[in-house]
Amino acid sequence: MRQLARWLSKPANAWVVVIIVTLLAAWSALRATGVESDDDLLAFLPQNNPDVDAFRQVNRMFGSLDLALVGIETEDAYDAAFLERLQRATRQLKETRGINHVLSLANVVDFAPDPERGGVVTTPLLYEIPRTPEKKRAFRNKVSAMPEVLGRLVSADGKAVLLYCFLTYGADPLQMAERIGNVVNENFPNDEKFWGGGPFVSAYIYDSTKRDISNLTPWAVALVVALLLLTFRDPLGVLVVLVSAGIGTLFSMAVMGVLGERFNIVLGSMPIILFAVGSAYGIHIVARYYVLRQNHPPAEALSRCVAEAGPVVMAAALTTAAGLLSFLTMDIAPLRSFGLFTSVGILATMALSVTFVPAVLCVSRFSRRPVSLGPIA
């Protein structure tokens, strides 16, 4: 560590580190943008479990979980205009790529005995739109006499209907939720709608997670920046800590992109965790440098800073990474991914704290006076 400290205290070497890290940051940013999202809720089930394997096989064969439900409230489900819209929406959904079958009041099949030939005759229950009060009453009475339809495709009071959208195996839940939502909203813009089933649950979790991260990240960054400004009273010291934590986070996501790992719900919290935890390592280095800079020249202060604070930072980071790597023993795949790539980010931030942060201090501090620490340092 002392050899590294002496090496980094030379401006030429420090510039080499800054340039290399800058190139690494650019590469990480490019690779991180290619990481795709994974909203598979079944990934949270344990692997190599006989019950789970049987569950997946049934789902693969029959699509038992690949089902989207759409409930629509209306004044009169037997109204001709409403049935026309329901019929049109059912047809459009059936033609939508990724949907294997659609079931609604508009296309459910009616089974009736054949008195002439025997056997059963199948005809659409809604053979024609009932446009007269008599036909409407007859259609409603017929539906009321069918327990497989009443309470399943249309409510008993005739004020709500339910559409079943059976997806093809492997269809992307987020895309299917969006496509189904577009068709339904287009045909029923003013009716109250209710969404259910796996695709909409996945979409809700994904959107909620994305929204929470978008809302929490600025607050987390603002809090860290405020604490750093109170501690260092120097924008450059704050900036170098934030940049090192940000590059470490980007590098972790870049590794995900290289390995083809998808960004799941659990990994959604990784950037905030890395930013909060990883910035602590840079804070130790910068704070120690400012203390030593009060009584020592820049080169000596930087060399002693890395030699004294470096081992402490490395010990803290390695302990954290070891704890995260213990997630690899778990049966749940998303948690294993979280432990692995968060530990990669922690180690990357640690490496940047003992190399990049001192290098930036070296190339920027030789011509400047030492900065006094704030009251909370």
Closest CA relative to residue 108, chosen from 155, 152, 168, 67: 152
In the chain, domain spans:
2-45+212-365, 56-202
Question: Looking at domain 2-45+212-365, does it have CATH number 2.40.10.10?
Answer: no
pLDDT in tens, the chain (377 residues): 778 877 888 888 889 999 999 999 999 999 888 787 776 666 677 777 787 777 777 767 765 567 899 999 999 999 999 999 999 999 999 999 999 899 999 999 988 777 777 677 788 899 899 999 999 999 999 999 999 999 999 999 999 999 999 988 778 888 899 999 999 999 999 999 999 988 898 888 778 877 877 787 788 778 878 877 787 677 777 888 889 999 999 999 999 989 988 887 788 778 888 888 888 898 888 888 888 888 888 888 888 888 889 899 999 999 999 999 999 988 888 888 999 999 999 999 999 999 999 999 888 854 344 455 555 55
d(CA 363, CA 276): 26
Kind plus residue range of the DSSP H or E element containing 268:
none
Numbers of helices and strands, H then E, in the chain:
11, 6
Cβ neighbourhood burial of 151 (10 Å; 0-12, 13-18, 19+): exposed
Give this prediction's pTM. 0.70
In SS3 terms, 176-230 reads as: HHHHHHHHHHHHCCCCCEEEEEHHHHHHHHHHHHHHHHHHHHHHHHHHHHHHHHH
d(CA 134, CA 229): 78
Confidence at residue 42, expressed as pLDDT on a 0 to 100 scale: 66
d(CA 330, CA 14): 41
Confidence at residue 356, expressed as pLDDT on a 0 to 100 scale: 93
Q: Cα 5 to chain center, whole Å?
A: 40
